[in-house]
Amino acid sequence: MGKAGLPLTENSTEQMGQGLPPHLFQAAVEQSPVAISITDLRANILYTNPAFHRVTGYEHCDVAGHNESLLSDKRTPPQVYHAMWLSLTEQRSWSGILINRRKDGSPYLAELNVAPVVDERGLTTHYLGMHRDVTELHRLQSRLGNHRQLIESVINAAPMIVALVDEKGGVVLKNPAYLTLMEALGSVEPAHLMLGTGSEARQSFGDREIRIDSLGGRPPRWFVCSATVVQERDEEADSFFAQQRHEYLLLVAKEITELKHQQEQMRVNSLRALVSEQEKLGTLRETISAAIFQLQGPLNMLTAAMGMESRRQGERHERSTSLFNALHSAVDAGNEAISVLEGSLPRLVDEPLVPLNINQVLRDALGITTERLLAEGIVIDWRPSPVLPVICGYENQLRAMFKQLIDNAVDALDGQNPLERSLMLTSEIRDGEVCVTIEDSGSGIPEENLLKVFQPFFTTHSGGDHTGMGLAMVQETVNRHAGVLRLTNREEGGCRVFVCLPVTAPQLCETYAKELS
């Protein structure tokens, strides 16, 4: 800008130059930190400044009259010089990097700018060359590039998952292992599942086990994850003095699915034995409860008859008759029998309220019934939510509940076309609750029985294998967890059972247990 902020024009520049003493231009060139040389049209050196000596090691007397090629190193490709001379002959400036050689024979990288000097007739009379030693800069850039390439090679070859997540949650670096997992999850970002959401997603942590459930009935995958906050300086010019920084989260995850599968297999085998024992006890409880229920009806009638006989005798002022005594004996015997049966009921084992992953409970229930599902030729469509929040629940009761619902669905498919036997299970988060849907392709339940099926000892199955206590126990378990249970018929045929259980923070399980009790 010129005086009073006006832009500089060609005329104003000439006027300024004419107003400055000539020795100022010479002093500026002499004191410039950049190596400057002036040559004739054949590139023979006519002038060099002191910086030229500091960069090349040559004094002016060493190079005066010699060609600039004196500095050239044969390792500079000929096409570089060809491009330079092509620009100069067209009176265009040229910029580029050459390999030069100092007076002592040591090579260096020269960042060169060459411009033609044109006279008033428009003819090139000389060439002005300015160059600086950028060897160290190149070395640093190469070192940085090598380090980056080395790090990328290590990250890409690493058997674990590595990702870098920016402040907005975007994944800016993904290694091949990460991309493979992402493809397996249907293009869902694994980092979002492993880190979660909210403020916790931006914090460092170490050795956290993460379970990711896959679609299509495939087994879940397990990872041990660690996250570290890393910082990067802002590269923009306006942050040069005000050192702004950006935070990233480096996520590293190692898959431990195989180990978990082995542990799960041993656990499921133990569960099968445990559930088998529990089912035997449950069957015994149902049988005894049914017997008590069956005895209670006649006993109530005998008690009523005894009361009527007692009132009749009181009105006639008669003594106890043989009929009254017989009724009294029968009632006493009945009450005693009921007391014996109630005393023989297997006691339910108390269990603690613990943090649970419903996907794991559902998978346990499916694992226990796998043999029956395979024997019946039933197709399972398992659609779990990849990651679910924990709920506080009684694990054995919930497992038994979902197994009962699966068994009911399998029973409903009995007699169906083998090609149409299917069972679909889904889990999802809905309005602060973990919801599970179990659907079958059976014939459904008559509308008039949709509510009756929850009554004790009511069953829609013929034969003696069903006592009618299954759904009553399911309803009791849902109520104990402050949940919601709905049973409807599907339009396309079959039943749909909908169970929702409230989400509770793991650390609040003990408080939640007191509230439920």
Q: What is the CATH number of the domain that holds 429?
A: 3.30.565.10
The closest alpha carbon to 174, from 160, 183, 164, belongs to 164
pLDDT at 89 (0 to 100): 94
Q: Is residue 219 part of a domain?
A: yes
Q: Is residue 147 part of a domain?
A: no
Rounded distance between C-alpha atoms, residue 47 and residue 66, angstroms: 11
- 249 lies in the same domain as 265: no
CB 124 within 8 A of CB 91: yes
pLDDT at 511 (0 to 100): 67
- 198 lies in the same domain as 324: no
- 390 lies in the same domain as 511: yes
- 395 lies in the same domain as 497: yes
Measured at the alpha carbon of residue 490, what is the angle toward residues 486 and 494, in degrees to the nearest 5? 100
pLDDT at 195 (0 to 100): 86
CA 495 to chain centre: 33
Query: What's the pTM value of the predicted model, to 2 decimals?
Result: 0.50
Structural domain harbouring 99:
20-136
Query: Last residue of some domain: 315, 344, 373?
Result: 344
- 249 lies in the same domain as 275: no
Rounded distance between C-alpha atoms, residue 461 and residue 414, angstroms: 11
Q: Is residue 2 part of a domain?
A: no
pLDDT at 516 (0 to 100): 57
If one counts the domains in the chain, the total is 4
- Estimate the crossing angle of helix 470-480 against helix 395-412, to 10 degrees: 140
Query: Last residue of some domain: 80, 102, 136?
Result: 136
SS3 content of the chain, % helix, strand, coil (to 5): 45, 25, 30
Rounded distance between C-alpha atoms, residue 165 and residue 506, angstroms: 27
Residue reference for tokens 């082995």: 262
CB 221 within 8 A of CB 257: yes
Q: CA–CA distance from 372 to each of 273, 403, 439 (Å)?
A: 15, 12, 17
- 296 lies in the same domain as 171: no
- 363 lies in the same domain as 280: no
Query: For each of the chain's 517 residues, which pLDDT tens digit applies?
Result: 333 333 334 444 444 456 688 888 889 899 999 999 999 999 999 999 999 999 999 999 999 999 999 999 999 999 999 999 999 999 999 999 999 999 999 999 999 999 999 999 999 999 999 999 999 999 999 998 998 888 888 888 888 899 999 888 889 889 999 999 888 888 788 898 888 766 566 788 888 888 887 665 577 889 999 999 888 877 777 777 777 778 889 999 999 988 888 887 787 777 777 777 666 766 676 677 777 777 777 878 888 877 777 777 666 655 567 777 787 788 888 888 878 877 777 666 677 888 888 998 998 888 888 888 888 888 888 888 888 888 888 888 898 889 889 988 888 887 666 667 888 999 999 888 999 999 988 888 888 777 777 676 556 655 445 544 567 788 888 998 889 999 889 888 888 999 999 988 776 676 655 665 5
Q: CA–CA distance from 276 to each of 262, 367, 375 (Å)?
A: 21, 13, 18
Q: Is residue 8 part of a domain?
A: no
- 28 lies in the same domain as 120: yes
CATH of the domain at 202: 3.30.450.20
- Alpha helices (H) in 167-256, listed in sequence order: 176-184, 190-195
- 275 lies in the same domain as 401: no
